[in-house]
Structure 1
Amino acid sequence: MIKKEDLRIVFMGTPEFAVESLKALVENKYNVVGVVTVPDKPAGRGQKIKTSPVKDYALEAGIKVLQPEKLRNEDFLAELKDLNAHLQIIVAFRMLPEVVWNMPPMGSFNLHGSLLPQYRGAAPINWAVINGDKETGVTTFFLKHEIDTGNIIDQKKLPIEMTDNAGAVHDKMMVLGAELVLETVDNICNDKIKPVSQEDFIKEAIVLNPAPKIFKEDCKLDWSLDVEITYNKIRGLSPYPAAWTELIDANGKKTSLKIFETEIITDKNLLPGQIETNDKDLIYIGCSNGCLKINTLQLAGKKRMTTKEFLNGFKNLNDCKAE
C-alpha cells in the first residue's frame, strides 16, 4: 500500500476529454508531479498560438508541464526521469515508446473509450455509434508493445441511446472515464488490482470490432444502404468529423453538404438519394427502405444551420439528388 500523497504521478493527455481525469486526480489530492502534452501550435486565421486544454488546466493547478516534439528526445527523457514518477496515467495522448511507458516502477496505464478488447484503435466512440451498438464503456489497462492490448485493470459500462450522437457519448464517457481513472488509482494505492489478460475476454464466437482512424472518404454517405445504417453513420460522425454527401443539380453541378442530425421516417418511400422538400422547413432524402428527415446540415464554407435556415438560401432542392 502507498498513501495518495506519496504516490508520484505523471499524467499524459491533450484534449478536453483528458482534462476531466486530470482534474479528478488533482481535486482528490493525488500528487501529480508533472503533465506531458503536445507542443503549442499556431491555429486559425490569425495563426495565434494554441495550447492544449490539458496544459491550460495544469498551469492553473501549478503542475509542471513538459511538451516534447519527440518522445525519444534525450532531454525530454531526462526531464521525465527527474520527476521520479511511480505511475504514469495516459488519457487521449500519443502512442508512447517503451522507453517512456516502461519508466515508472508501478507501470503506465491508459484510459480507453471502449470495453476492450472491443474497438481497439483511434476512434472507438465513433465506431460504436456507427455500428449501432447499444452499449460501450471505458477501460483502464496497462500499456505494452501492441496498441490497446495490455492487461485490463477495470471497466465501466455506458449505455448508448438511439438518439445519442458521438458527441453526446463522448461527453458522458469523459465523466465516466474520470471516475474509472480515480477508482483505478485508488485500487493501485491499496493493492486491490488484479489485471486480466485481454485474451481472457475473448470467446471463440466473439467478433472483435476495430476502431481505426476515420478519414474523409469514410464519411461519405451511401444512400442505397438501409435507413438505420445511414442514420447510425450520421450520428456516429456527428459533430466531428461529420458525414457528408454531394447534392447534384439538374445541370450536373455538385455541392458538398455535411449532415449532422436526422430522424428516421419509415412511412415515406423515396428512391435512394431522392430529395423531397417543401422549400420551407422540411427535407427528406431516400434510403433503401425508408428515408431520413434532415434537421441540421452545413454547406461547404458556411456555418452549421437548421433545415429552415438552409432552405432560406438554397432553392430548387427538389431538382437535386444526393449522391
Structure 2
Amino acid sequence: MEQAKNLRIVFMGTPEFAVPSLRALVAGGYQVVGVVTAPDKPAGRGQRMHESDVKIAARELGLPILQPVKLRDPEFVETLRAWQPDLGIVIAFRMLPEVVWAMPRLGTFNLHASLLPQYRGAAPINWAIINGETETGVTTFLLNHEIDKGAIIGQIRVPIGAEDTIGTMYERLMEVGTGLVLDTVERIAAGKIEPIEQQGIDESALRPAPKIFKEDCRIDWRWNGKRIVDFIRGLSPYPAAWTAMYRAGADEEQTAKIYAARFEEAAHEEAACGTVESDGRTFIRVACADGWIRLGELQIAGKKRLAVRELLLGWRDVLQYRFREP
C-alpha cells in the first residue's frame, strides 16, 4: 500500500469544471507536481489572449504549468517525464496519446460527467437534460486508446430535478466530481480498485453526447412541449436555445435566445406551431405540437436578457410576431 499524498500527480484540464478538483488536491496535501492545460488563445471582440481557468488556478497555487500545442511534441513529453509522475488525472481536456497517458506508473484516470457508458462525448450534462433524463452522475475511468471507453473505477449517481438546467447540474456535478477524484486517488494508492471494462455493451442502446454547435441549439416548434422545455433546460444558460422570429409584413428575421420556459398542455387546432399569444403585460406563449410553451426569460438579439414581464414593457407589437420553425 502506498501513501496517496506521496504520489507525484500530474493534473490535466482546461475549463472551470476541473478547477475545484485541482484546488482540493492541493488543499488536501496531495503532491501535484505540475499542470498541463490548453495554450492561451485570443477571445472576445478585442481578441485579447485568454488563459484557461485551470491555468489561472494553477498559477495562484504556485504550480508548474505546461501548455503544449501538440501533445506528442518531444520537448513536452521530455518535460513531462522529468516530473516523474506516479499518477495522471484528466478532467475536461483533449484526447491524450498513449505516450502521455501511459507514462505515469499507476496510469491516468479521467473524470467524466455522466454515468458511463452512457453519454460518451464532449457535452454529457447538456445531452442528459435535453433527453429528459431524471438521473446522471460522474464517473472516473482509466484512459485507453478510445474516447471515454476505459475501465470504470468509480461512479456517483446524481438526480436531475424538473427545474434543473445545465447551469445547476454543472455546479452540482463539479462538486460531486471533486469528491470522487479524491476518493479515486486514495483507492488507487491503496490498491483497492477493481476497474470494470466497458465491454459486451449493446452500443445501439447508448446515448451519445457530441459537441454542441449553434445550429444544434435551434428550437423546432413542431416538437412536443416536454421536448422543447427539456431542450431549453439542457442549453440554459449556455450556449442557450434559440429561435428565429419574424414580424408580419416584414422581410427581416430576428433571433431570440430562450433561457426559461414551461409547458402548458392544451389542444389548439387553430393555432399553428410558432404562433405567439400574449396579453401584452404578463405572459408570452408559443404554440407547439401539443400545447403552449410559456416563456419565462429570453434575449432578443442586440438587447438585454430579460424576464417576460420586463420585456413586454417595451415590446408593444409582440402579437405581430411569429416564431419560425427550422
Under a length normalisation based on structure 2, what TM-score does the superposition of the two structures give?
Answer: 0.95
Please give the alpha-carbon distance, in whole angstroms, between the structure 2 residues aligned to 1:181 and 1:5: 13
SS in 1 for 2:137: strand
Q: Comparing 137-146 with 293-302, which one deviates more in the overlay?
A: 293-302
Q: CA deviation at 1:103?
A: 1.1
- Structure 1 segment 35-184 matched on structure 2, within 5 A: 35-184=35-184
Contact 2:266 / 2:290 at 8 angstroms: preserved in 1?
A: no
Please give the alpha-carbon distance, in whole angstroms, between the structure 1 residues aligned to 2:4 and 2:173: 25
Question: Which residue type is aligned with residue 78 of structure 1?
Answer: E
Please give the alpha-carbon distance, in whole angstroms, between the structure 2 residues aligned to 1:206 and 1:244: 30
Question: Which residue type is aligned with residue 261 of structure 2?
Answer: T
Q: Give the aligned partner of residue 230 of structure 1.
A: 228
Percent identical: 50
Question: Which residue type is aligned with residue 114 of structure 1?
Answer: S
Q: CA deviation at 1:234?
A: 0.7
Q: Deviations over 1:199-252 (max 9, x none)?
A: 26x3x6982101111111111111111100011001111111111111121124
Q: Give the aligned partner of residue 261 of structure 1.
A: 260
Q: What residue ranges of structure 1 are gaps of 5+ in the alignment?
A: none
Q: Give the aligned partner of residue 241 of structure 1.
A: 239
Q: Give the aligned partner of residue 316 of structure 2.
A: 315
Please give the alpha-carbon distance, in whole angstroms, between the structure 1 residues aligned to 2:184 and 2:53: 23
Question: Which residue type is aligned with residue 211 of structure 1?
Answer: A
Please give the alpha-carbon distance, in whole angstroms, between the structure 1 residues aligned to 2:10 and 2:40: 19
Contact 1:4 / 1:29 at 8 angstroms: preserved in 2?
A: no
Q: Deviations over 1:174-214 (max 9, x none)?
A: 001101001000101111000011126x3x69821011111
Contact 2:4 / 2:190 at 8 angstroms: preserved in 1?
A: no
Please give the alpha-carbon distance, in whole angstroms, between the structure 1 residues aligned to 2:305 and 2:102: 45
Q: Give the aligned partner of residue 213 of structure 2.
A: 215
Under a length normalisation based on structure 1, what TM-score does the superposition of the two structures give?
Answer: 0.95
Q: Deviations over 1:98-118 (max 9, x none)?
A: 111111111110000100000
SS in 2 for 1:119: coil
Q: Runs of at least 4 residues of structure 1 off by over 4 A?
A: none
Give the 3 Å change call, closer, same or farther, for CA 104–79 of structure 1 in structure 2: same
Contact 1:25 / 1:32 at 8 angstroms: preserved in 2?
A: yes
Please give the alpha-carbon distance, in whole angstroms, between the structure 2 residues aligned to 1:207 and 1:48: 44
Give the 3 Å change call, closer, same or farther, for CA 44–299 of structure 1 in structure 2: same
Q: How many residues align?
A: 321
Task: Say if 2:186 is the partner of 1:186.
Answer: yes
Q: Give the aligned partner of residue 4 of structure 1.
A: 4
Q: Comparing 103-112 with 258-267, which one deviates more in the overlay?
A: 258-267
Q: Give the aligned partner of residue 298 of structure 2.
A: 297
Question: Which residue type is aligned with residue 168 of structure 1?
Answer: T
Q: CA deviation at 1:309?
A: 2.7
